[in-house]
Amino acid sequence: MLYLTYLALGLYSIPLITIVAAAITSQLFASESQLVYIAGKIALTFLKNLWESFGVLIVPMVTAFSIPIREADKNIPRKTLWLISVLAFLFLLSIGLYGIISSEKYQGRVEHFGKETLGAFSDVTVSYIKGFLSYFALTLGISFKK
């Protein structure tokens, strides 16, 4: 079941991963790269069609591995700690990407690939920030409940 949780998180993160890859291959959007256009379309499609479906799938999986199976004086299970770490990493990655995309220096570069691409990148990173923060809070809240 944990494998399925990480698989779902991986699939859920595809737009985020493609934006990171697009930023790297285009030297932070300074040079032409087809991956930026592809990442923009993936992000837009994901936001319009798949965001809510994946969210509904992720919540029960995150919850399943956050259930407190410890007593007050015992450690948090390693599986839960890994899940918290992955969610925290994805949250921080989303914040970093949003900072790059929304900064004056890089916003013009991303806009060169189209206003739709800039909007999709901005919207999807904000959605990830909110989503991962929610999943992170859910995991922590359940895990530390006594």
Backbone angles phi, psi at 65, to 5 degrees: -95, 10
Report whether pLDDT(73) > 80.
no
DSSP secondary structure letter of residue 26: T
To the question of pTM greater than 0.85 for the whole model, the response is no
Please name the residues in contact with 49: beta carbons below 8 A apart, sequence gap of 6 or more: none
- 120 with 8: CB under 8 angstroms? no
Range of the domain at 46: 2-143
More confident residue, 5 or 140: 5
Long-range contacts of range 49-54, CB-CB < 8 Å, 24 or more positions apart? 51/127, 54/8, 54/11, 54/12
Total count of domains within the chain: 1
| Confidence band for 68, pLDDT divided at 50, 70 and 90 | low
- Residue range 48-67: average pLDDT? 75
- 77 with 85: CB under 8 angstroms? no
Helices (H) and strands (E) in the chain, counts: 7, 0
Predicted local distance difference test score (pLDDT) of residue 9: 84
| Confidence band for 118, pLDDT divided at 50, 70 and 90 | very high
- Residue range 128-142: average pLDDT? 81
Residue with tokens 């925290």: 88
pLDDT tens digits along 3-33: 888 888 888 899 999 999 999 999 999 999 9
pLDDT tens digits along 92-110: 999 999 999 999 999 999 9
- Residue range 128-145: average pLDDT? 78
Report d(CA 101, CA 43) in Å as an integer: 14
Report d(CA 84, CA 9) in Å as an integer: 12
Predicted local distance difference test score (pLDDT) of residue 70: 54
